[in-house]
Chains A and B, each alone.
Chain A
Amino acid sequence: MSNTSAAAHHAASNNRKWAIGFTSIVLVIFVLNKFILPTAPRQVVEFFNAWFSLTSLAEIMVWILMALGLNVIVGYAGLLDLGYVAFWALGGYVAGWLMSPFLSNFQISFFGNPRPGLEQGIHLNFFMVLIFGGVFTALWGIIIGGPTLRLKSDYLALVTLGFGEIIPQFMVNGGDIAGLNLTNGSQGIGGLDDIKFAGYTIGTFSLPEKFLMISMLAGAMIFFSIRLRDGRLGRAWLAIREDELAASMMGVPLWRTKFASYAIGAVGGGIGGVAFATLVGGVYADRFNFVISIIILSMVVLGGMGNVWGVVVGATVLAWVNSVGLVQFGVVVNNALGTNINFPSYQFLLFGLLLVLMMLFRREGFIPEARIRMVMNEEKLEDEEKVSDETKIAGH
């Protein structure tokens, strides 16, 4: 009894340390970009723009949202989702529909903030759109998860893969469904409203505020992830992840619990999609492809499946490498060695090898929880390698 409470206390203080770290990093970045950089010398500004541009940092926060959403599905419940990009796309289009001049048959503004001259269309308040985005993607999670979660887990991987392909294709083709323009095709929906928050408008050029806003969303996601994990539902997820049969014997309703993880995990994608759409001011169908799903999966795997802070770190590192790291390292290496290697073209190799090597040598991720380390390295009882070794010895 005292042992478990001590462990819980340890975990809580650990969380507090990480949370303080996260908050202070976000605040430092905000203050740096808002107040210090505008007055800093040119070289310093150039350095930051090349290596840590605020756009890329804000994108990292979106990736964190995504990765945490997928972490609920893959890390907590142990279900493989290979089409997570679909939720990103759906969230993005919810923002495109509900806060832009696109659906011009309507003229609704509900605490909205339409740009001058673009008052047609639906304009809802950003926070309402966040909620709608979350609900909408959760609904799609239910539609996809409902029938497939009764099947073996590899089938779920495939159906999600198919889903991740269909949705973006639908968005590309959706510019003309029997004459109805639902998604504006491959041109995408632009001209999204600025966020209005407490009487203060966060416009196109107020990037520091946008960054802060998305960081707050990511922070909320981190908070809910941790709370969910420790709650009744979270413990049920972990039980299923580790041993489905044992979990169902203990009275965990398998289907309902998996279902909850799929729907809740989808919400992360939806909120991230809305956030990303407002960050870039539009939603464009050709951005959503399979590579994105795999990058998000790599983030979860790299950081340590199931561990919230591990996933946050994994998402930060990989998103940064993917957006600026590869390019910048390429510039540095090519300048130093006089070579002409196209670093970004190694993206596929990087993420592919990362997944393979992590699975082969460090399945629990770089910042694992103690619990998943035990599970991931536990071989089955009928260990084939050992058996074949024994038979070899016996044969000699």
Chain B
Amino acid sequence: MFLIIAVAVYWLVLNLFKDPVQFASVTVNGLTNGMLYALIALGYTLVYGIIELINFAHGDLFMLGSVFSFAILTQALGATEPSAKNFVLLLLVLLLTMLFCAILNVTIERLAYRRLRNAPRLAPLITAVGMSFVLQWIGLKWVGSVPVNVPTVLPTTSFGIGGVELSFKAVAIFTVTVPLLIVLTFIVNKTRRGRAMRATAQDKDASRLMGIDVNKTISFTFAIAGAAAGAAGIMYAQTIGTVAYNLGFQLGLIAFTSAVLGGVGNLYGAVIGGIIIGLIQSYNDGLPIGPGQRWSQTMVFAILILLMVYRPGGLLGETAQEKV
């Protein structure tokens, strides 16, 4: 384990000295990606925390969010180039997309997962996989089988700080995701609803006895998770610039790895995990000495598998060992 970390550190230092400017810009890139991963990872972690279900459909929910924002903002409202008016529209559609994904996620929970809450573990897992396929099919019918380019309404200009190009898109991602993450953690940690969520996660029966409406609380959790995925979806469409029906599968897996890395069920863990995975991926893809983009997925999954072996509880989580 220490050997792996040592090799990774050596590799990073080597790259840092070879080309410091590129290293810095790659880092910024990784951080922005990591923020998006964190938003999606939050959804996994919230849902897993409360009903112990790996929601395989969550990545596809994110995909539908990006597709929805594309359909509304670009196609229906015709916002294709940067302007003040379009920027206001972007914020409006951001809220709409979050609402759309929240409602969709709550509907899925109501229709499929709720009935299976007491069923053997295999049943809800398989249902989630099936749901993921249904959502992918909706995306496929909506945008077609090839990736579609999304004209962005964000300014494409960038400004340099000490030779490092900092694009406006990166700034936009930070201005959207950071407040969202703060609001979400505030909701979970400080509000009455949040307290009900944490109580339900710990013990459903006891919470019910304390007068908490468990079903409503779980629906609320799914709504929050969906809203986060929706926000990630529109930001992805606007900054990366493509939407595709199979986007959710890949990003969902990456986001889940982030959640596991941070410790499933732990909010801060999801954020930290997302950022770390974003950085690792970006270093892997962009650094002068490195495996390169075609090994990107392999790297992420290798991390996932290594984590399972050495630290299944994640960085901030408790141990997930099966009681034997």
Contact = CB atoms under 8 A, between A and B. Distances in A.
Interface stretch (B8-16, B19-27, B130-138): B130-138
Contact of B131 (A159, A248, A255, A356): A356
Nearest to B292: A173
Interface string A55-85: 0000000000000000000100010101000
Given A147-B309, A166-B301, A359 B260 contact: no
A359 B312 contact: no
Interface string A171-186: 0110000000000000
B305 A162 contact: yes
Contacts of A248: 324
Q: Which of A162, A165, A254 has the most CB of B within 10 A?
A: A162
A348 B133 contact: yes
B127 A173 contact: no
B133 A349 contact: yes
A127 B256 CA distance: 41
B125 A80 contact: yes
Nearest to A361: B115
A11 to B, nearest CB: 24
B320 A356 contact: no
Interface in A247-279: 248, 254-255
Interface stretch (B68-76, B84-92, B116-124): B116-124
Interface residues of A, number: 59
Query: How extensive is the interface on chain B, given as a class?
Result: 35 or more
A301 B52 CA distance: 22
A301 B126 contact: yes
Contacts of A80: 122, 125-126
A301 B122 CA distance: 11
A27 to B, nearest CB: 35
Contacts of A385: 118
B170 interface: no
A217 interface: no
Contact of B54 (A158, A384, A387): A158
B123 A363 contact: yes
Interface string A122-149: 0000000000000000000000100110
B124 A384 contact: no
A22 to B, nearest CB: 27
Contacts of A389: none
A159 B322 contact: no
Contacts of B126: 80, 297, 301, 355, 358-359
B123 to A, nearest CB: 5
Given A80-B126, A376-B120, A360 B112 contact: yes
Could you tell me the dominant secondary structure of chain B's interface residues? helix
A154 B133 contact: no
A158 B304 contact: yes
A376 B121 CA distance: 10
A74 B122 contact: yes
Contacts of B302: 166
A352 B54 contact: no
A155 B308 contact: yes
B308 A148 contact: yes
B263 to A, nearest CB: 13
B324 A255 contact: yes
B115 A352 contact: no
B297 A151 contact: no
Contact of A359 (B52, B124, B256): B124
A34 interface: no
B205 interface: yes
Interface string B134-177: 11110011000000000000000000000000000000000000
A65 to B, nearest CB: 21
B107 interface: no
Nearest to A290: B249
A309 interface: no
Nearest to B117: A384
A360 B130 CA distance: 11
B115 A297 contact: no
B113 to A, nearest CB: 10
Nearest to A170: B298
Interface in B265-284: none
Contacts of A348: 133-134, 136-137, 140
Nearest to A157: B125
Given A352-B132, A353-B130, A379 B304 contact: no
B253 interface: yes
A248 B323 CA distance: 11
A163 interface: yes
A84 to B, nearest CB: 13
A323 interface: no
A197 interface: no
Given A157-B125, A254-B324, A297-B126, A360 B115 contact: yes
B320 to A, nearest CB: 6
Contacts of A153: 121-122, 322
A387 B115 contact: no
Nearest to B135: A352
B4 to A, nearest CB: 14
Contact of A354 (B115, B125, B130, B324): B130
Contacts of A51: none
A360 B54 CA distance: 17
A328 interface: no
Contacts of B53: 154
Interface of A: 74, 78, 80, 82, 144, 147-148, 150-155, 157-159, 161-163, 165-166, 169-170, 172-173, 244, 248, 254-255, 290, 294, 297, 301, 305, 345-346, 348-349, 351-356, 358-360, 363, 375-376, 379-380, 382-385, 387-388, 391
Interface of B: 52-54, 112, 115-127, 129-137, 140-141, 204-205, 208, 214-215, 249, 253, 256-257, 260, 294-295, 297-298, 300-302, 304-305, 308-309, 312, 320-322, 324
13 contacts: A161-B253, A165-B253, A169-B294, A244-B322, A248-B324, A255-B324, A294-B133, A348-B136, A351-B133, A352-B131, A355-B127, A375-B120, A388-B208
Given A150-B322, A158-B256, A376-B120, 17 more contacts: A78-B120, A78-B122, A80-B125, A169-B294, A170-B298, A173-B294, A294-B133, A305-B122, A346-B137, A352-B134, A352-B137, A359-B130, A360-B127, A363-B119, A382-B205, A383-B118, A387-B205
Ordered nearest first, which 3 A-B pairs have the shortest CB separation? Answer: A352-B133, A355-B130, A162-B301
